[in-house]
A = this chain, B = another copy of it.
């Protein structure tokens, strides 16, 4: 109970090298890390192609590939609530207790600070999102996306025919029925 625990969160669409780097850096500062996978309910859109389960599998394998001690992290998929003002309470409900939040996202910073958490903002954390966008774009256009993700993540994505899925999703949403 009295371990020092930190919290990071990302949509991880998909898990990439930036996430692994961030998680490893964070583990230099805390004993354990709680890793939230955001927007767990979303999948099969161009911006959110992968299911929560697929992202859990990618992240678990990637951390293993990078020799991160499995006793040092918790992976928690979290569905959205559509109420920013209760979002922190929802995160707390779904996770083991933590004190310190590591995020480059200004809304995450704002919400946790209003609830009295210590928030750390390493500049590199911004890159967590940027890379996701870049990877999805490369998959769509046939670029070299594999270099941006751990090997096992590329294997998972290809195994579930992720590139084919993303190409199909580039055209339509259900609201275009």
Contacts and interface: CB of A to CB of B under 8 A. Distances in A.
B39 A53 contact: no
Given A74-B56, A76-B77, A88-B89, A41 B83 contact: yes
Contacts of A56: 74, 76, 94-96
A64 B71 contact: yes
Interface in A9-59: 9-11, 38-45, 47, 51-54, 56-57
Range of interface residues on chain A? 35 or more
Give the most central of A88, A105, A111, A172: most B CB within 10 Å: A172
Nearest to A40: B94
A97 B156 contact: no
A83 B42 contact: yes
A83 B80 CA distance: 11
A80 B42 CA distance: 13
A120 interface: no
Nearest to A132: B177
B177 A129 contact: yes
Contacts of A159: 1
Interface of A: 1, 9-11, 38-45, 47, 51-54, 56-57, 60, 64, 70-71, 74-77, 79-90, 92-97, 105-111, 114, 128-129, 155-156, 159, 165, 168-169, 171-177
29 contacts: A1-B159, A11-B177, A38-B174, A41-B82, A41-B83, A41-B93, A43-B83, A53-B76, A53-B96, A54-B96, A56-B74, A75-B75, A77-B94, A80-B175, A81-B86, A85-B92, A86-B86, A87-B174, A89-B89, A105-B176, A106-B171, A106-B172, A107-B171, A107-B173, A107-B174, A110-B168, A110-B169, A114-B165, A129-B177
